Every structure is written in structure tokens, then in C-alpha cells.
Chain A
Amino acid sequence: MRRVAITGMGAICALGRSVPEVGASLCQGRSGIGPIESTDCSQLRFQNGAEVRGYSHQPYFDDRRADFIDRFAQFAVISAREAVRCAGIEWTPELQERAAIITGSCVGGQSTEDIGFHEVYKLGHNRVHPLTIPKTMANAGASHISMEFGITGPSFTISTACSSAAHAIGQAYWMIRSGGAELALTGGSEAPFSFGILKAWEAMRVVSPETCRPFSKDRRGMILGEGAAMFVLEPLEAARARGAAIHAEIVGFGMSADAAHITQPSAEGAARAMRAALRDAGLAPEQIGYVNAHGTATPANDVTETAALRSVFGAHANRLPVSSTKSMHGHALGAAAALECLATALALRDGVLPPTANFTEPDPECDLDVIPNHARPAQVEYALSNSFAFGGLNAVLALRKA
């Protein structure tokens, strides 16, 4: 089996429009959460989100091309461009055919669909825009990336709610590892800030009326986010041979299903996914030096995740730094795991563990070292990135310092 290197990374989210910008925000513990500007929230119980503020397609796409691409897929293409540039890929027909694209998205272009449905249901129009379907489909991100770079190999999209991008990156990792592809572009993208979607989240009563405070006793729920992160994965030996910079290695991937409840998390299911990732990587729990938690800041998730971490890591959990960067980039649903895989890779590469921001008060039921509010310099060799989706579908990535 081949080792797998991350040779390119790209990102756009509330913390910045490039990996260096996002990385700087993570190190500063600066939260990108603020009043939602792209949608009128006066009829909502919550007003805050983690948006790409002031976003316009114009520096990235000409007007006609942007007509065809929903915001979520624009984010996918923007971050894929940065990842490919960062990796220094020189495309050849052979490479384009042997390259794979696997993206994650939870709601796809539902914002486009929301506009169309508002027009037919509320305004009584007799027709919706003819591009509603191709803009809405969740695979639009993968499709536009393929067109952008002329990639003709296996390309698809995974939709497993909040785990989407982790499942996507995991599949891409396994494809490279097994020889199923010579290069993969993988990650996730999301843009869920439209009124209908926000109303649906409001009805779940899981969104915080203020900010996102994972593992803090006074946490009041999640904060929605948007954006994308994409990675170029290559066989480690090939990457070394062409002299590519290697940001981190992916060394393991584990999945599980809770088979329990459609929304309530299960500690057993989460623990099984972490154990599966450790087994896949051939690692002992004690070798893990940092965990980027799912850490949504709902009352249920953080307690359950703490129990799962204690079950997997035993006494090592007392010494194991764990943080939730959702406190800064929000919960970007199908992009969340990609942003968190990026935060994990940067932590390993740069030797700085990102904090859990907005932390005010320890919760005895979340008695972990959550790196409160301030980033921590630390040289770590192995780390996990956790994702536990609604529907009980869990995915965990294991990364190694390059």
C-alpha cells in the first residue's frame, strides 16, 4: 500500500480567503462569527453565522460563468484552484485521466432552490430559472472542478451531512493508497445561508442565539458556517520524486454508523469510528497528540464526544489536547470536515495547536484539555480529525506530520 501525501491545500471561509489567511486566524484564536449579512434574519431566533463576508463572485468568475454556479460550488472551485496552485501541478492528459475528484456537500445548492421555490409558491410565478437543477445538485462542485482542470478520472460527491467532507477525503485517501488514482482533489464545500434553510435549522432548536462555545459550560448550540477547503492528495513517493512540498500525510481513515437515533449522537458510534481510524493507521491511542473535535457546542454532542474520547483514549485523554475550531469557522456542514482537516494539517505542519475559541467556563461533563482561547505551540506527530453527522454516520481521519 502506498503512503499518501497532502501536497496542496486551498480554503475559503469566514476566517479568510486563502490557506495563509485561515491559518493566521486559527493561530490567533480569532472567531469569524458575526451577524448574518447575506440573508435577512429579523424573523429568526438567531442572528449570527460564520459567513464569507462581502463575498462576490467577481474576482473569481466572470458574470456568465457565475450564472451557472451556486455559491457553494463557487467556493469549491476557488479552494480547488488554490490547492492545485499550491501543489504546483502540471497537468498532462495522462494525469488528468488518472486524477480523481471526491467532494462533500450536505445541502448542495439549496439556496438556489430556495429562490426558485419562493418564486413559484409565494410569488405565484409559473416558472423557475432553467439553471435551478444544475445549480442545486450537490455534485456541482465536483463537476465544476473537473471542468476547471480538465480532470477526466473518477469524480463524485458524498453527502453524509456533517461528515460529508471526511467521508470524501477518506475515500480519496483510500483510492490513492490502493492505486485507484494517481492524484485526488478532495474536500468539501457549503453555502447554507438562505432563509428556508435557516428556518429549518431554527426549528431543530440547536443553533445558538449568541456564539459557538464548544465544551464550555454555558454553550448554547452551534453556529452555522459556510466555505470550502480542498486538498491535493498524491502518493508520497511520487510527490517526493517531483520535489513537491508535503504539508502532511493522511495515514488512516475510519467510519461507523450509530444505528441508534436520527439526531442524537452516540458515544459508542463515535468511539468505533475513532478506533477504526487508529486501526487503519496502525496506531496506538497513546501515539495521538491532538484531536480536532467534532465539537458542535450543542449540549448533547460535546458530552457524548467527551465520553467517546475517554473510552478510546483512557488515561491518555487526560494529557490529550482536543479543540473545536467550529468556534471560529462555524459549522460549515458538508465543508466542516474539510476545514477541520485543514486546521489539523496546519497544526501538524506549523507546530501550533488551534484553540477552542469563545470558551468561558469548564463543564465537568467535558473535562478535557480543550486548549481554551489561545493557540498552543506543540510538536505533534499524529492527530485525529473527528466528524459525527446527524443520522449517526461517523468519519475520522488520522494525519501525520510530514
Chain B
Amino acid sequence: MSDELTQRVLKCIATAKRIPPETVTIDSEFQQLGIDSMDAVEILFALENEFDISIPDDEVRAVRNVRQMAEGVEKLVAAKAANASAGQ
């Protein structure tokens, strides 16, 4: 996972939840950060806007921590890049 992508994911989570950025790390669990289901929906909204991706409901059902979230985003960003280059 690129450090730049990770930093952007962490920033999205901190901004959406309105918590200090330093409290969110790649190893944070959502429960630990007090992220409930509505917070999670807002974070997904922020990530979709930040990375210009669409995150399907089924992809996120089992996501419980920041690392899983960042990995999911990385996969969707890679798929978007592959689609774009295939289209060229």
C-alpha cells in the first residue's frame, strides 16, 4: 500500500469523524475510534469523493478497521486505473 494513499485514507477518516489526525493510524480499529455505522457511511462518502471511486455496499460489510478500509480503497483505485488505461 502506498504511503500517500494511506495518508489520504487516514485524513478522510479523521476529517469525517472530526477527530485529531494523529489519533487515526493504519492499525486503528473502528470500535477503538468510536466509529459507528452512520460514521462509517460518512467516511465511505468522503473516500468516494477523495478518490473518485464508487465503493459497493457488499465490499464494506465486513470492514472493521482502518487497514481493511485502506486495502479496499487501494483495490478500487487500482481497478479504476486499469480501466482507464484499457480505455486508452
A contacts, CB < 8 Å to B: 45, 203-205, 209, 220-221, 261-264, 300
From known contacts A203-B45, A205-B44, infer whether A264 and B38 are also in contact, taking CB-CB under 8 Å: yes
- Chain B residue with the shortest CB-CB distance to A209: B57
Complexed CA–CA distance, A300 and B37 (Å): 10
Contact A264 B41 (CB under 8 A): no
A45 CB, nearest partner CB in chain B, Å: 7
Please report the total number of B residues contacting A with Cβ < 8 Å.
9
Contact B38 A262 (CB under 8 A): yes
Counting CB contacts under 8 A, is B3 at the interface? Answer: no
Interface SS, B side:
helix
- Chain B residue with the shortest CB-CB distance to A202: B57
With a CB–CB cut-off of 8 A, which chain A residues contact B37? 263-264, 300
Complexed CA–CA distance, A204 and B57 (Å): 10
Which B12-50 residues have C-beta < 8 A from chain A? 36-38, 41, 44-45
Given A205-B60, A261-B38, A264-B38: 9 more A-B contacts, CB < 8 Å: A45-B56, A45-B57, A203-B41, A203-B45, A204-B41, A205-B44, A209-B57, A263-B37, A264-B37
> 20 A-B Cβ contacts within 8 A?
A45-B56, A45-B57, A203-B41, A203-B45, A204-B41, A205-B41, A205-B44, A205-B57, A205-B60, A209-B57, A220-B57, A221-B57, A261-B36, A261-B38, A262-B38, A263-B37, A264-B36, A264-B37, A264-B38, A300-B37
With a CB–CB cut-off of 8 A, which chain A residues contact B44? 205
Complexed CA–CA distance, A263 and B39 (Å): 11
A330 CB, nearest partner CB in chain B, Å: 18
With a CB–CB cut-off of 8 A, which chain B residues contact A203? 41, 45
With a CB–CB cut-off of 8 A, which chain A residues contact B36? 261, 264
Complexed CA–CA distance, A204 and B39 (Å): 11
With a CB–CB cut-off of 8 A, which chain B residues contact A45? 56-57
Complexed CA–CA distance, A84 and B60 (Å): 49
Complexed CA–CA distance, A204 and B38 (Å): 8
With a CB–CB cut-off of 8 A, which chain A residues contact B56? 45
Complexed CA–CA distance, A220 and B57 (Å): 10
